[in-house]
Structure 1
Amino acid sequence: MKLQPDRSDAQTITGYGPGWVGVGTGAGTEKITHNVVIASNGERLPWAGRYEDLGPADFAAIAELKVEVVIFGSGARIRFPKPAWLAPLAEARIGIETMDTAAACRTYNILAQEGREVAVALLLESA
């Protein structure tokens, strides 16, 4: 699916599909095919392996971004993170919302367009 965000200085997700996400920064769009954390302030990190491999260290890396809220895109279906994984975010007083990756992409764009300090952590699964 292709998305057409309003003009913004924040990184936006311009499209997504099984195993990929398009990220635009004003100078063009980049197609990313690995799990990734995208922050509205322009930071981008490679992230985690499979859902089964996630742990507190993966969420600690996101906490370092100092955002208000994290949107966790758990893949093609909703899978909630274990409470122990979220301890670094709770300690940093960062909120988290979990949804499937497609919904996470759309929600991230809305919050980034509003000027919120937000990050999206995406598990990108092939069909």
Structure 2
Amino acid sequence: MPVERSRRLESYNLADYDRLPQCTNRRRLAAGIATIGPAIAEPIGRRANDRLPFPPSTPVGNIVLKLHQESSGALNTITSYGDGYVAINLERHEGSIIVMPEGAVIEWPVSSFEALAPEHFEALVAAAPEVVIFGSGSRLRFPHPRLTAQLAKHRIGVETMDFGAACRTYNILMSEGRRVAAALLIEA
């Protein structure tokens, strides 16, 4: 049986890319990236691919260049948001909601930031997410720690953001396979 090796994933600042010893084919990649720009300006097809320094999907060192769109399948994805609404999988919601990657979208009975009570956050404990992203409305406002005390007691993290940042962060964490819940406050 083949033995699987675990890879250590590291992230690097792209500004330091040229100085990293781990990037072995950086000159070849840099030359390829410089010539991709004009190729993209033309219609995609055989002529555009002929300009690339290497064919599409060809390994360059230990990197494979292949672009594709990732589909989230049946997961609850925030597809749009704006003043007074959020759309989950293209379904528009105009009241405060709790959304998790799987399961139904739950109406959250909160109409304003001032109306928040500990019971509103305690409803999230049963779902047992790793982290709760709290979208505090159009501007960033932090809830009092007593409101989120039950979440802290169960070792569930709470991150507070404005509404737009909460929607974007939820989608990123959801696409990474994290157990995340978004409590999105939509004020009337």
TM > 0.5: yes
Query: CA contact under 8 A between 1:41 and 1:117: conserved in structure 2?
Result: no
Output the aligned Cα RMSD: 1.4
Counterpart-to-counterpart distance in 2, 1:125 and 1:49: 5
Aligned pairs, number: 118
Which of residues 37, 40, 62 in structure 1 aligns to 2:101? 40
Amino acid at match of 1:19: G
The answer to whether structure 1 residue 30 and structure 2 residue 91 are counterparts is yes
Are the aligned partners of 2:112 and 2:186 in contact in 1 as well (CA < 8 Å)?
no
Amino acid aligned to 2:158:
I
Q: Which has the higher strand share?
A: 1
Name the SS for the 2:137 alignment partner.
coil
Q: Distance in 1 between matches of 2:147 and 2:155?
A: 14
Segment drifting more, 102-111 vs 36-45: 36-45
Alignment of 1:77-92 (within 5 A): 77-92=139-154
Residue 101 of structure 1, CA deviation: 0.4
Instruction: Name structure 2 gaps, 5 residues minimum.
Output: 1-68
Deviations 1:76-120 (A, max 9, x none): 000001000011101111001000000000000000000000000
Flag the structure with larger Rg: 2
Residue in 2 that maps onto 1:72 = 134
Q: Distance in 2 between matches of 1:99 and 1:42?
A: 23
**How high is the TM-score relative to the length of structure 2?**
0.60
CA deviation after TM superposition for structure 1 residue 40, in Å = 1.2
What residue in structure 1 maps to residue 171 of structure 2? 109
The structure whose RCO (Cα within 8 Å, separation 6+) is larger is: 1
Cα distance in 2 for partners of 1:123, 1:98 equals 11
Q: Are 2:98 and 1:98 equivalent residues in the alignment?
A: no
Structure 1: which 5+ runs fail to align? none
Determine the structure 2 residue equivalent to 1:21. Answer: 86
The residue type equivalent to 1:109 in the other structure is: N
Distance 2:104 2:147 in 1: 22
TM-score when normalising by structure 1: 0.88
Matched residue SS, 1:119 = strand
TM-aligned CA deviation for residue 125 of structure 1: 3.4
